[in-house]
Structure 1
């Protein structure tokens, strides 16, 4: 993969050169990615892991600030946007604020 075409490159333990987004899936799922890894079902598995990552240890807090460093129009950001939608739906009586800059 060319960094000039794809941005940052992530190299798996078995040497596969992949898009940097794979490292985020690897971190959230706790599963090491290889050249043979196939992610077939992102929702609800990855979105549930993202939500648990965001809310881990926040039971006694009044608010949570979570910076999401993605481009809204990129397909890789769709799981994050789905998480935001789910949070606003489940927490309908709470006051949620989402900022996109």
Structure 2
């Protein structure tokens, strides 16, 4: 299912909240809210923003990692996969 970057979590939807959040995050990445090789907000922050528990946020992130959309750097955070574009450097 396709989600809008501005969608909200619908508690009584047939899709579980973690799938909804994964779709919303994917749409936000597609819109450019987070650039390749740049970090996502923390799990805690995403949980607060979408009113979800941290385990639910983690499950959403894990699904996007499995799809190659995100990658996790231990003790650093979760990052958008993809190459830095011209003019954008890894150390910026």
TM range (shorter): 0.3 to 0.5
TM-score, L = length of structure 2? 0.43
TM-score, L = length of structure 1? 0.40
**Considering only CA atoms, is the larger Rg found in Structure 1 or Structure 2?**
1
